[in-house]
């Protein structure tokens, strides 16, 4: 019987598929990041590993697993936690879990953050709950309309395109995008215009990041980029934390280089702040919204991710091609 190590319990739908296919599952029982020693022991002799984005899957893991290992199915759209070169050297297939349901969930969360920033919803909620509301005022917590404003997408793939649909069709926003390749659908369907990243930063009112974590995208947003933004602009990151240089971000927020930010991911995740000596300064700004990496946290998305991961494992262990191989 082929055996699979699952580094944390995921949605039951995918696990049920694997059990039905006749595989033996060993599931790490704690709802927390698996420690290194347990991970290395757990993968030993397994035919497949179903990992999470919080699990570093590197040369040591492949060596610990041994020659039986055929696939690492990463339960995430991203796969920057997996050493693809090491996987190739050990002839192990790596897959991820993209799907329209996951993409739509991330796009909706992105747009929810955009609306919350523009209309200062967390600030207003905190204000009301503290008992500070004493009556209507024409200047109380005035925010920003989205209608007629310009959305700038850095990364115009599947998720970025869904954010664009909400922005243009739902709220009448204008659209700029920066990407390695032109996106004809964005241009044809939503009036998008491809520009350089610098031009986008200078012109956009809302800047939303949708790039994978690669050596070329680490600190893609840093001091130079923040200095180009409008003072009235907002930054939204639902991609990967290290895309934004946290030290530079804090400096820009202190000097009010732009109007605010919403972050679902963090550079030193799971820590919300890289420098614990500054008393978690990132949490102190009223114009910053923080959510704990939950952009894809909907029932439909989590189910879809588990099913795609299971489908990939079943296919590879049967000698077939995976449904969604990891591609850089």
Respond yes or no: is residue 123 known to be catalytic.
Answer: no
Catalytic residue, candidates 240, 246, 267, 303:
240
Respond yes or no: is residue 8 known to be catalytic.
Answer: no
- Please check whether residue 243 is in contact with residue 219, taking contact to mean a CB–CB distance below 8 angstroms: yes
Torsion of CA 248, 252, 257, 263, to 10 degrees: 80
According to DSSP, residue 281 is labeled G
For residue 83, CA distances in Å to 53, 57, 294, 320 come to: 12, 6, 24, 22
- Whether the ω angle into residue 308 lies within 30 degrees of 0, i.e. cis, is no
Rounded Cα gap, residues 117 and 91, in angstroms: 46
Short-list 231, 162, 167, 171, CA closest to 201: 231
CA 217 to chain centre: 13
Token couple for 33: 């990041």
Angle, CA 132 vertex, CA 130 and CA 138 arms, to 5°: 140
- Please check whether residue 263 is in contact with residue 242, taking contact to mean a CB–CB distance below 8 angstroms: no
Rounded Cα gap, residues 94 and 73, in angstroms: 6
Short-list 16, 61, 1, 9, CA closest to 311: 16
- Please check whether residue 158 is in contact with residue 103, taking contact to mean a CB–CB distance below 8 angstroms: yes
Determine how β-strand 48-52 pairs with β-strand 71-75. parallel
User: Which residue(s) pair with 51 in the sheet?
Assistant: 74
Short-list 95, 105, 5, 106, CA closest to 47: 5
Respond yes or no: is residue 303 known to be catalytic.
Answer: no
Catalytic residue, candidates 119, 158, 193, 293:
293
Residues tagged active-site: 240, 269, 293
């Amino acid at each position: 019987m082929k055996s699979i190590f699952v580094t944390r319990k995921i949605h039951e739908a995918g696990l049920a598929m694997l059990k039905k296919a006749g595989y033996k599952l060993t599931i790490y029982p704690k709802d927390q990041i698996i420690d290194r020693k347990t991970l290395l022991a757990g993968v030993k002799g397994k035919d497949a590993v179903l990992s999470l984005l919080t699990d570093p899957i590197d040369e040591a893991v492949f060596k610990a697993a041994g020659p039986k290992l055929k696939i690492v199915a990463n339960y995430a759209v991203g796969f920057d936690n997996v050493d693809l070169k090491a996987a190739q050297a050990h002839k192990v297939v790596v897959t991820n879990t993209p799907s329209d349901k996951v993409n739509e969930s991330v796009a909706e969360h992105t747009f929810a953050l955009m609306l919350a920033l523009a209309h200062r919803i967390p600030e207003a909620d905190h204000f009301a709950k503290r008992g500070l509301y004493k009556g209507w005022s024409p200047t109380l917590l005035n925010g920003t309309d989205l209608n007629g404003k310009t959305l700038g997408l850095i990364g115009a793939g599947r998720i970025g395109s869904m954010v664009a649909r909400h922005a243009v069709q739902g709220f009448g926003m204008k659209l700029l995008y920066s990407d390695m390749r032109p996106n004809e659908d964005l241009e044809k369907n939503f009036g998008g215009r491809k520009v350089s990243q610098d031009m986008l930063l200078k012109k956009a009112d809302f800047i939303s990041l949708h790039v994978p974590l690669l050596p070329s995208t680490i600190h893609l947003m840093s001091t130079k980029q923040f200095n180009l933004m409008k003072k009235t602009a907002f930054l939204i990151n639902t991609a990967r934390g290290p895309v934004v240089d946290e030290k530079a971000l804090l400096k820009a927020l202190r000097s009010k280089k732009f109007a605010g930010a919403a972050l679902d991911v963090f550079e030193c995740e799971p820590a919300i702040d890289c420098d614990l000596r500054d008393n978690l300064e990132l949490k102190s700004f009223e114009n910053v919204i923080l959510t704990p990496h939950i952009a894809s946290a909907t029932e439909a998305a989590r189910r879809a991710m588990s099913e795609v991961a299971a489908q990939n494992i079943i296919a590879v262990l049967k000698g077939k091609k995976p449904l969604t191989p990891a591609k850089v």
